[in-house]
Amino acid sequence: MVIERRFRYLYLALACFVGLVTTYFVDGYMGIYDTLYITTGEQEQKIELYHWLKGGGAWTGGTEWGKKAFFSYEIDNREFLSLSTDIEISLWHNQEKVRDLVSQHLEIAPFNAAKLEWLLDTSELEPGGTPPLIQPYKYSVVVKSDKMERELNFYIYTPPPSVQEFG
């Protein structure tokens, strides 16, 4: 079938447009995306992939001493192949491992997601009491899988003094 001469450039422009849309979809949507949610008190922080990349692989969060922090880690597989990976999440302080928080093997089907959840009680971490007013305790929550490693700097600070203390 011979294409008429006057429609050749129209078909070429349409082919280029389809190519651009396909490239945008494959480059911008496809891949493995991970998101970490931290809920302390009534606030939720959401740390997505571009935050990890922008921050050089580390991000910061924290809570008051004596409070509980709820963590949720979601892995979104936006690929045509299933994902099989081992996830290890641990808590570190001064370059020493304090404890393992989660260690699990995940099988994630194509275009599906998996979620891991855990609780961190800050009063269990420093049983000696609250941190000094000036310097909070610094911990690192490290998320490792077969292909990547993420680090969250997690600070535990002294709660602000109450109004009654000032009398």
pLDDT of residue 167: 47
Per-residue pLDDT of the chain (167 residues; tens, 9 = 90+): 556 777 888 888 899 989 888 887 776 678 888 888 999 878 888 888 766 666 555 667 788 878 889 999 999 998 889 999 999 999 998 888 989 999 999 999 999 999 999 998 888 876 566 666 667 888 888 989 888 888 888 888 876 666 444 44
Q: Is the C-alpha dihedral spanning 11, 26, 56, 48 positive or negative?
A: positive
Q: What is the DSSP letter of 109?
A: -
How far apart are alpha carbons 5 and 41 in whole angstroms? Answer: 68
Q: How distant, in Å, are the alpha carbons of 69, 74, 131, 158, 160 from that of 134?
A: 21, 34, 8, 8, 11
pLDDT of residue 52: 63
Q: Taking the model in full, what pTM does it have?
A: 0.75
Residue range 31-166, CATH number? 2.60.40.10
How far apart are alpha carbons 48 and 25 in whole angstroms? Answer: 19
Helix or strand holding residue 132 (H, E): none
pLDDT of residue 162: 60
pLDDT of residue 124: 82
